[in-house]
Structure 1
Amino acid sequence: MLKRRLILACSLVAASGVSMAQTYPNKLIKLQVPFAPGGTTDIIARIIADPLGKVLGQSVIVENKAGGGGVVGANETAKSTPDGYSLGIATVSTVAANPAINPKNPYNPLTDFSPIINIAATPNVIAVHPTFPAKDYKAFLAEIKKNPGKYSYASSGTGGIGHMQTELFKSLTGAFITHIPYRGAGPALNDTVGGQVPLIFDNLPSALPFINSNKLVPIVVAAPQRLSQLPNVPTFKEVGLEPVNRMAFYGIYGPKGLPKDVIDKINAGVKKVLEDPAVRKRIEDTGSLVVGNSPEQFAEQIKAEFEVYKKVVDSAKLRLD
C-alpha cells in the first residue's frame, strides 16, 4: 500500500510539472531590476520586457528593488517561488563582483539561481564632469596621482562592478580616490552630471547619453577594442591595465528549482525578441552587444565571471569599505 501511494504521489508531481509547463504563463510576470531606475540594467530590462510579454502572451512588468550594490533585489529573486513568475536581471555585480568581495552575501550565485539567458554584454567607462581639470587618460591619471584623496568617484553601489573595477584600477596605478556608493547607476549619474561627484565608473549605455550631450567626458573604456561611439577613447588594455578591461553583462535568471520547460520557454521567448531588428538596434545603440545564449552557456559564464572576480579580490586584497 505504501509503495502504491508513493508511486501515485510521484505521478501527481510529474503531472503537475507537465501541466505547469503547458499552461505557463497564465498570469503577469515580474522582472526585477536590482538597482534604481535610470541605469543600464534598468534600460536593458525595459527594452526586453514589453516585447517578451507579447511573445509569451502575458505582461512582463519591470520592478526596481535597489540596495546593497544589487544584493537586495538579487536575494529577493533567489528566495522567490520557482514558478517562472518572479524573474530577475542578472548582472556581473550581483552574480560575480559582489559575492566575490562580500563574505556576508546572503546567496550563492552558483547554486541559488536558475540561469536562463544572457541578453547583452556592455562596455564600461570612466567619465568625469566637464569641470574636471583633465580631459584625456594621461592627464587624468597624472591629476589624481598628484592629488591623492582630493577626488571621489561614484558607483552603482558597494561591491558592484563599478566599485570593484575602480578599486582594481586604483591598486594597479597607485592612485587614491574616495568611493561614493549609490543605490544604482541612475542616482550616481545624476550626482556626477550635477557636479556633486567629479567622476564615475559606469556601464556605457546609461552614461552614453550624458557623454553625447557633453555633460560627461569619457576617459577610458573597458571593451575588446575602441568603440565606434567613442573612437578617441582608449581601452584599459591600451593603457596597460588589461585586468580592468572586462565588460558587464545583463541576463535573466530565476530562483533555483525553476522547471526546465519553463526555463526553455523563457529562453526561446527572449531569443525571438532578440531576432527583432528594432530591439537589436535599441540594444546596440546603447553600445551593448547582443548575446542571446543558452541556459547552460549562461551558467558557465556566471561561474567563470565569479571565479575571475574572486581572483581579483584575493590578489588585490580588496575589502568592502
Structure 2
Amino acid sequence: MKNWRKLVLATLLLLPSLAAAQDFPAKPIRLVVPFPAGGPNDIIARVIGQRMSEISGQPVIIDNRGGQGGVLGTDAVAKSQPDGYTIAISSAGALAISPSMEKVAYDTLKDLTPVTLVATVPEMLVVATNVPAKDIGELIALAKAQPGKLNFASSGPGSLPHLAGELFKLTASIDIVHVPYRGAAPAVNDLLGQQVKMTFLDLPVLLPQIKAGSLRPIAVGSPERAQTAPDVPTTAEAGFPALRIENWYGMVAPKGTPKEIVTTLHRLATQAMADPAVKEKLTAQGASLVGDTPEHFRQFIANETAKWAKVIKDAGVETAK
C-alpha cells in the first residue's frame, strides 16, 4: 500500500512538468549567443532563431552575452532553469576547447544538454601577400628553411585559430611563432599590413580580403572544398588529411531539461535548418548546416574535446588550469 501511495504521489508531482513539456513552447525562448553581435556565431543564431520563431509561433529572443571566448554566455545557460526557455548556440571554443585551456565553471557534457550540431565553418589558412608561398608545400618548405622566423596570428591564446596553428606545426614538423591578438579583426589588420605572415580563421571572416586579393588563400580545413571559395584546395588534397580544422556551432540547453522539451527544440532547430531560405543565407556565410541528433552531438563534443586536448598537450600549450 505504501509503495502504491508513493507511486501515485510521484505521478501527481510529474503532471505539471509533463503538461509544461506538452505545451512547450508557451512563451518566448531566450537564445543566448556567447559572443558580441555581428560575428559568425551571432549571424547563425539569428537566422536559425528567426525561423524557429516562425515555426513555433513564439518569439526567439537573441541575447548576446560575450566574454572569455564564449565561456561566460555558455556558463549562464548552464546555470539557467532547465525548462527549455533559455538555450544557447555556442561554439567549439566554449564547448570543447576552453575546458582544457582554463578553469571554467561548467563541465560541458555534465552541465549542459546537447540538442543538435547546427553548423560547421571551415578554417582557412591564408598568408600575407609578401609571403612567396603559393601552396601548403611551398609554405612548409619556407618555414623549414627559416625555423622560428615565420609567425602566425590568432584571435587569442587557446582560440581555435591558435590551436589550428599548433596542429599545423605538429603535423608539418615546422617551427613558426604564435602571435595572439584580442579577436579576429586586429589579427586580420596586421596580416593585411604584413606584420604577421599567416593565420587560420573562419572562412567568412577572410572571404572579403581573399576576393579582393589582399590575402592569399593556401588551403581550407574542411573535408570538401568550400562553395564560397571553390578554387582553394582542402588540406587533405594538399597531402595533410590530419590537418582537418573546422569551427562549429551547436545548440545546448541546461542539464536536466526534460527529454520531451529537448525533442521539441531539436525538431524546431532541424526544421529551421531544412528551410531553403535559411540554407541559402548561411551557405553564403560559408557555413554548412548539419542538424544531427542529441546523441550524435554529444559524442561529437566528446571527440572534439579529446582531439584538442591532445593538441594542447602535444604542443605544450600553456594553460591557465
User: TM-score higher than 0.5 here?
Assistant: yes
Alpha-carbon displacement from aligned partner over 1:73-95 (angstroms, at most 9, x marks no partner): 22222122212122111322222
How far does residue 190 in structure 1 lie from its aligned partner after superposition? 5.5
1:46-57 equivalence runs, <5 A:
46-57=46-57
Alpha-carbon displacement from aligned partner over 1:153-211 (angstroms, at most 9, x marks no partner): 3334332322212111123332222231434x456446645666553311223322332
How far does residue 8 in structure 1 lie from its aligned partner after superposition? 6.5
How far does residue 114 in structure 1 lie from its aligned partner after superposition? 0.6
How far does residue 238 in structure 1 lie from its aligned partner after superposition? 3.3
Matched residue, 1:283:
282
Any conservation in 2 of the 1:121–1:290 contact (CA below 8 Å)?
yes
2: CA distance, partners of 1:92 / 1:245: 14
Q: Which amino acid aligns with 2:19?
A: S
1: CA distance, partners of 2:78 / 2:185: 24
1:7-18 equivalence runs, <5 A:
10-18=10-18
Any conservation in 1 of the 2:152–2:176 contact (CA below 8 Å)?
no
- SS of corresponding position for 1:225: coil
Which stretches in structure 2 are left out of the alignment for 5+ residues?
Answer: none
Aligned: 1:227 with 2:235: no
How far does residue 19 in structure 1 lie from its aligned partner after superposition? 2.3
- SS of corresponding position for 1:10: helix
Distance 1:5 1:213, change over 3 A: farther
Matched residue, 1:177:
177
How far does residue 113 in structure 1 lie from its aligned partner after superposition? 0.8
1:212-251 equivalence runs, <5 A:
212-251=211-250
2: CA distance, partners of 1:38 / 1:200: 21
Aligned: 1:167 with 2:166: yes
Distance 1:158 1:265, change over 3 A: same
1: CA distance, partners of 2:67 / 2:193: 22
1:86-165 equivalence runs, <5 A:
86-99=86-99, 101-102=100-101, 104-148=103-147, 150-165=149-164
2: CA distance, partners of 1:114 / 1:244: 29
Q: How many residues align?
A: 319
Instruction: Report the TM-score, using the length of structure 1 for normalisation.
Output: 0.85
Any conservation in 1 of the 2:154–2:178 contact (CA below 8 Å)?
no
2: CA distance, partners of 1:5 / 1:257: 26
Instruction: Report the TM-score, using the length of structure 2 for normalisation.
Output: 0.85
2: CA distance, partners of 1:236 / 1:140: 13
2: CA distance, partners of 1:240 / 1:135: 15
Cα root mean square deviation, aligned: 2.9
Matched residue, 1:208:
207
- SS of corresponding position for 2:110: coil
Any conservation in 1 of the 2:96–2:108 contact (CA below 8 Å)?
yes
Matched residue, 1:263:
262
Any conservation in 1 of the 2:127–2:198 contact (CA below 8 Å)?
yes
Any conservation in 2 of the 1:32–1:62 contact (CA below 8 Å)?
yes
Moved more, 71-80 or 114-123: 71-80
Any conservation in 2 of the 1:229–1:287 contact (CA below 8 Å)?
yes
Runs (4+) of structure 1 moved beyond 6 Å?
A: 1-5
How far does residue 279 in structure 1 lie from its aligned partner after superposition? 0.8
Aligned: 1:45 with 2:51: no
Moved more, 261-270 or 169-178: 169-178
Any conservation in 1 of the 2:222–2:246 contact (CA below 8 Å)?
yes
Matched residue, 2:80:
80
2: CA distance, partners of 1:301 / 1:267: 16
Matched residue, 1:301:
300
Moved more, 196-205 or 142-151: 142-151
Q: Which amino acid aligns with 2:104?
A: N
2: CA distance, partners of 1:63 / 1:238: 40
Any conservation in 2 of the 1:126–1:220 contact (CA below 8 Å)?
yes
Distance 1:232 1:127, change over 3 A: same
How far does residue 269 in structure 1 lie from its aligned partner after superposition? 0.8
Any conservation in 2 of the 1:52–1:60 contact (CA below 8 Å)?
yes
Distance 1:86 1:35, change over 3 A: same
How far does residue 116 in structure 1 lie from its aligned partner after superposition? 0.6
Distance 1:140 1:155, change over 3 A: same
Q: Which amino acid aligns with 1:154?
A: A
Alpha-carbon displacement from aligned partner over 1:110-138 (angstroms, at most 9, x marks no partner): 21111111112222112234455545434
Distance 1:54 1:67, change over 3 A: same
Any conservation in 2 of the 1:126–1:201 contact (CA below 8 Å)?
yes
2: CA distance, partners of 1:57 / 1:191: 45
Any conservation in 1 of the 2:165–2:199 contact (CA below 8 Å)?
no
